[in-house]
Amino acid sequence: MIYILKNIGKGKIGLGERQVTASELILIQDSTPNLIRLKQQTLAIAGWVLNGVSGYYEYTLANNKILSQSDVEFIPLPVSYDIVSAAEIQPYVVITAGQVVIQAVNAPTDDILVDIKIERLEDV
């Protein structure tokens, strides 16, 4: 990731307390990974709650790696395919900072094992 530095005048740009000439190029590598996989997560049957407004059963998975600008993928493990199919898990998720909400038409009949893929997105 490249950060554009602020021009502070007289041919200099600044980064914190350090000044460099405009002819220098500084690349700053962000230490946060862009892609995170949470392996073999269990969505417990008891965690699904019927949302009276939307009519969907919802499961909220909290994780501090989820940012409001994240893309989160729900990937069921093969052992849970039949449960996911019968519950009619929706192909989209609702993302807010720190959590993702997974929705289903029907209440799952057992725990669901999944991998969760979190990707940081940057609007340009």
pLDDT in tens, 11-69: 554 445 455 554 444 444 444 568 899 999 999 999 999 999 999 999 999 999 998 88
Measured distance CA(123)–CA(26) in Å, rounded: 21
User: 3-state class of 81 per DSSP?
Assistant: helix
90, 95, 99, 105: CA torsion to nearest 10 = -20
Q: pTM for the full model?
A: 0.70
Task: Give burial (CB, 10 Å; 0-12/13-18/19+) of 116.
Answer: buried
**Structural domain spans, the chain:** 1-31, 35-120
CA angle, 21 then 27 then 28, to 5°: 115
